[in-house]
Structure 1
Amino acid sequence: MGQLCGRCLQLLRDFAAMVQRTSAALLHGIKECLALISHCSCLKPSGSKGRQLYKPILQPHERVTAQEFLQHIEAGFEMSPLGKEPLEALRTLAFSENPGLQQSAALYYLHMSQHMNVPLPVEHLEPFYALLRSTDLEVQQMSSLSLVNFLLEGNIDKELVVQMGLLEPILELLESGDPTVQCNSCACTMTLAISESNREAIGAAQGVTPLLALANSYDPRVQQNAVGAILNLTQSEKIQQVLCKEGALPILTFLLESPDSEVQYYSCTALSNVAAHAQHHAAMLRTGDRFLLRALVSLLSSSVDKVSSQACVCLRNLATSADTQVEIVAHNVLPKLLSLLASGSRDVRHAAVALLWILSQHPRNQDVLTCAELLQSLRMLLAVHRMDPVIAGHTACIIQNLSLSKNRQRIIESPCVEGLLQTMLSTDIQEDSLHYVTSCLAELAKQEGAAGHMVPCMDEPLTRCLVRLAGQRDRVEPAFHAASIIQRLMGHEKTMRLLRCHIAETQAYLRNFLSHPEVRFQQLGIATLCGLQGDPEFSSAFRKSQMTKLLEQVRQQTEETQELLRAAICHTDG
């Protein structure tokens, strides 16, 4: 190579001078930028409840040079952080092999994730792919944290994150050796798994295995987010199969004894979701020599409402077989349920009464459950919460189940009967609940001696309620049950005295019953009319309203039916 000429030497001297001048100005710019960053609120612990698990990873003094980043930042960048030029700069930094440049991009994304209140443009997701796959630990920490923040604040569409190919690097970070990266990647996975399509994608990408491993993490943040992600995955029946195959059941079962109430809740809810499908019950109950039932019954005593409530739900989902129902009761579950029925939490009361309803269905449990304490608790429930359709309906079903036992007389003599009668007066009671309440009362009224305990509870409002309900054609079953109760109680003078105030309405529903196409309505109408004819006032009213003529029509129809039946039988025999 020859010597440079004078002209080239001068050009080199000019270039060196220019570089020296530019470097001085650039260094001054770098110092100013880092000073501003160090004082920004994004590097201070956030007071937001939703981010308590995701404390800022890096401190200001750990910031390294942002020299190359500043070369890509022009005057308008701070004014328009989502513009085209800053995006190009971020893309260049993110895909660089220089860790310092990647840290600058990751830091800026972290800053944006804590201050943005608008959706992040889809173009800004592309640099995340390189940042999440960086070999630099700080870049992994910052980029995963910023992605968590964006997802939690709803700045990014969850399905779009998967469509852009970010799921793979997120799942790879689950196997990081750094707890902070694990915590953030679990949180990303947990949030993404809210979407049904994303759950399928996580399962297909083999994301279940590393999550199960992290569910046993000694770091409470990592464990909590890992179990939360597993919980969201159990909302997919298909992924439930994968979880069970990968050994999720024993892990989730033993996490019920975790000292962390959030982990208890997540694992219990995940097990409830799995238990909603009976094909998993055998495997669940085999875990740890049927340890699951004991652990769930123990959680009923939790001081955290959502934990005790979810334990009830899980036990209810598991109690589909008679043997399991009996086993749950054998674990001395009743005292715990009595406490939950008196809870100030609506969700807890609902969960407890629903579980009790399931347990009361088995005959072997009915005698055990029919005790004075439970009957008193049920009466209190109806007294305080009779306008709650869940409480009213389930309580009526429980009472009816218990009345099938040999202790039926205790039910009839208990204050529960009055509670059920008063519940009918609730104007807001839903159709299903009204059906259960009236059905239970109608069955109780059939029992020997029941009328003697029900009649003293009767008054004008209750009588009016029963008569009007019997006359409602659009409420077929409650109408039949109400009329059945009236028919069973009208042998008592008090009932007749109350009914005399409603002669017109009583006649109206009897006419409906006598002309009803169902034989059971006709038979009940005839039986009621016969009983009322012994009363002078009703008898006189029946004569004036030509009720006898209607009865004659029913008789003729019955005779015609009998003749047809005789003809059919003779034809068959021949």
Structure 2
Amino acid sequence: MGACCCSLQSSRRAHIVSAYGFGTTEPLLKETEREAVNAILKFLDSDSSPAARRLSTDRLESLRTLAYSDNVELQKSAALCYSELSENWSDPVTIQFLEPIIQLLLSPDIGIQKASSLAISNLALKGPVENKNTIVRAGALSSLIILLNSQDPEVQCNTCGCITTLATTESNKREIVVQGAIPPLLKLAHVRDPKVQRNAAGALLNLTHVESNRQDLVQSGAVAVFIKLLESQDIDVQFYCAAALSNIAVSGEHRQVIIRYSDGKVIKVLISLMKSLSEKVCCQACLAIRNLASDEENQDKIVECGGLDALVPLLWSGDTDTVTAAVAALRNLSIMKGNEIHIVKSGALVELSRLLSLQEQSEIQCHAAGTIRNLAAEEQHVAIIEAGCLTALAERLRDSKHVPGDVLSEISAAMGVLVSNSIARKQLMSLYNGDFHKVLLKLTDSPHREVQYNCAGIIGHLAMNEEYHSVLLNEEPSAIDCMLKLLDQNDSSFIHLALWVIAQFSNGSKSTRALLRKSVLIDKIIELKSKKYNTEISQLAESAYNNLQAQ
């Protein structure tokens, strides 16, 4: 996230004129300082727009002269000029350009601190991206971190905002922590000034994007600060803190810290934020709940505190990120046995069915299918089928040319669990005028190995019903072709699956076994028997062979 700065309102030229009079009693200046003042006044009086102004080498040297003067008023003039220039600066800065500004940051004068901190913050915020790295390389961080301890709200705001902006660059995030920014930032997160608090929270959020920083933040007590600020009335602060907790909650160890510190209260607060009118707050609260729901002990608590009632309406959100976060959280909650009844009763199944049909939303489709798979594993088959989920899964497989491989893997895996139910098998075989099995047979030749495996497994489940044997074995390609491809794989799991599928067919009629005996499958099975591929597969091959020989 970016940052806001506290702008100075005073006129830079007016300060120089009032300080040195020019025509009245002038302060005692060195000749070089007098020449520098004249050069800067001429520069400020130029007709060109601020955006068109560029510092020549001579003018840059004049500003350096003022900045390094022993005269506080000249230093202040330099700081004000730098802050004016920074407001419209769009060029990359050099270390040489930054050195006098960094020197001014160390001034004990509050006015100079205000102007110089605003200048460097603007250069980081409004200039090109490379300015952020250059500012750090120039050594500005140590001075900025010192200024975080200022008692002046404007200096706090500018400095915090600058560090927030610097922390948007990956290479700076760790360096900011190494140089000691966490303690003063945590302190500023408690101040009453809303701009300062907002910038401090934003800076801390940016630091959580690095794993090693998260450990330092947790050890420094940041979790307590973030949890407390979740109840802020400021939407930005809520957003930053929910996002920071979400990032920290990626680690199992840190999730325990979050829950332990608040005695679980944080779950209630995050659930309340999921009902926020602010979409971005809603989304980040959802992401935090999703990560906390990675631990089984939190899943029950989330449901108990009304998490499902808050999550399900978000599946209808117009914001893709919020929908993604909500369905991901639902998927984690569906892992726990006992939650499945609550999820079914919440009305989520109908929404999951709808989400599967969303075009070009592969992450949402993956999480929706994963949730259905988890619920099917807990014997909620009938409810899932009645909600239209099986049909929605089938539709995606039928449209496989336009569906990414990771989505096909999740969808075929979910279907593979569902077809252990006889009602699901019957519905599948009736879909698309009884032609859906053709989709499955073709997908056993998918370029995605998981899809091949899952679809072959589904065919094996369909073969549990003898009435489907004829259509499966006489199709083009047939289940026999499917099993041959599996047996040709140099992968024991695929060979194991093929033998299991053959076993389902061999439990059928004499005519089915006769058909299989006449096929080249029997030669493959004999080959596996003799090869002693491994003990388990050899035993399965022996069993398959004996079953097929039965009259």
Separation in 1, partners of 2:486, 2:179: 64
Residue matched to 2:361: 388
Residue matched to 2:38: 71
Deviations for 1:399-431, whole angstroms, at most 9, x for unmatched residues? 121123354432244311111111212323222
Distance 1:153 1:531, change over 3 A: farther
**Helix, strand or coil for the counterpart of 1:96?**
coil
Residue matched to 2:527: 557
> Are 1:140 and 2:117 an aligned pair?
no
Q: Is the 8 A contact 1:281 1:318 kept in 2?
A: yes
The equivalences for 1:317-332 within 5 A come to 317-332=291-306
Distance 1:104 1:284, change over 3 A: same
Deviation at 1:231, TM superposition (A): 1.0
Larger radius of gyration: 1
Residue matched to 2:496: 519
**Which of 161, 182, 187 is matched with 1:187 structurally?**
161
Separation in 2, partners of 1:438, 1:118: 53
Separation in 1, partners of 2:242, 2:340: 27
TM-score (norm 2): 0.83
Q: Is the 8 A contact 1:341 1:349 kept in 2?
A: yes
Separation in 1, partners of 2:147, 2:141: 10
> Are 1:225 and 2:199 an aligned pair?
yes
**2:526 partner amino acid:** Q
Deviations for 1:278-313, whole angstroms, at most 9, x for unmatched residues? 222222112233221111111111122221111122
Q: Is the 8 A contact 1:113 1:150 kept in 2?
A: yes
> Are 1:170 and 2:144 an aligned pair?
yes
Deviation at 1:434, TM superposition (A): 1.0
Separation in 1, partners of 2:384, 2:54: 72
The equivalences for 1:217-366 within 5 A come to 217-366=191-340
Residue matched to 1:371: 345
Separation in 2, partners of 1:204, 1:282: 25
**1:453 partner amino acid:** Q
Separation in 1, partners of 2:155, 2:137: 22
> Are 1:443 and 2:427 an aligned pair?
no
Q: Is the 8 A contact 1:388 1:429 kept in 2?
A: no
Deviations for 1:189-239, whole angstroms, at most 9, x for unmatched residues? 112223444333333332211111111111111111011111112223333
Deviation at 1:261, TM superposition (A): 1.1
Distance 1:555 1:282, change over 3 A: closer
Per mean C-alpha deviation after superposition, the further-off stretch among 353-362 and 117-126 is: 117-126
> Are 1:151 and 2:103 an aligned pair?
no
The equivalences for 1:119-130 within 5 A come to 119-130=92-103
**Which of 548, 551, 563 is matched with 2:518 structurally?**
548
**1:449 partner amino acid:** I
Q: Is the 8 A contact 1:467 1:506 kept in 2?
A: yes
Separation in 2, partners of 1:75, 1:154: 25
Distance 1:406 1:477, change over 3 A: closer
Separation in 2, partners of 1:358, 1:193: 31
Deviation at 1:392, TM superposition (A): 2.0
**1:333 partner amino acid:** G
**Which of 201, 211, 214 is matched with 2:175 structurally?**
201
Deviation at 1:244, TM superposition (A): 2.3
Q: Is the 8 A contact 1:513 1:525 kept in 2?
A: no
Q: Is the 8 A contact 1:367 1:405 kept in 2?
A: no
> Are 1:423 and 2:396 an aligned pair?
yes
Separation in 2, partners of 1:75, 1:407: 80
Deviation at 1:340, TM superposition (A): 0.9
Separation in 2, partners of 1:459, 1:496: 17
Per mean C-alpha deviation after superposition, the further-off stretch among 459-468 and 244-253 is: 459-468
Deviations for 1:79-104, whole angstroms, at most 9, x for unmatched residues? 87422221221111112232321222
**1:419 partner amino acid:** A
**Helix, strand or coil for the counterpart of 1:134?**
coil
Deviation at 1:134, TM superposition (A): 2.2
Separation in 2, partners of 1:481, 1:180: 61
Q: Is the 8 A contact 1:471 1:508 kept in 2?
A: no
Deviation at 1:248, TM superposition (A): 1.4
Gaps of 5+ in 2: 21-33, 540-551
Deviation at 1:499, TM superposition (A): 6.0
**1:428 partner amino acid:** H
Distance 1:387 1:161, change over 3 A: closer
Deviation at 1:341, TM superposition (A): 0.7
**Helix, strand or coil for the counterpart of 1:259?**
coil
Q: Is the 8 A contact 1:510 1:529 kept in 2?
A: no
Separation in 1, partners of 2:162, 2:360: 42
Per mean C-alpha deviation after superposition, the further-off stretch among 268-277 and 482-491 is: 482-491
Distance 1:563 1:299, change over 3 A: closer
Residue matched to 2:10: 58
Separation in 2, partners of 1:457, 1:494: 16
Distance 1:532 1:389, change over 3 A: farther
**2:454 partner amino acid:** H
Deviation at 1:164, TM superposition (A): 2.2
Deviations for 1:314-372, whole angstroms, at most 9, x for unmatched residues? 12222232111111111111121111111111111111111111111011212222226
Number of residue-to-residue matches in the alignment:
511
Distance 1:81 1:475, change over 3 A: closer
Deviation at 1:74, TM superposition (A): 9.0
Q: Is the 8 A contact 1:58 1:138 kept in 2?
A: no
Residue matched to 1:99: 72
Per mean C-alpha deviation after superposition, the further-off stretch among 151-160 and 331-340 is: 151-160
Aligned sequence identity (%) = 31
Residue matched to 2:375: 402
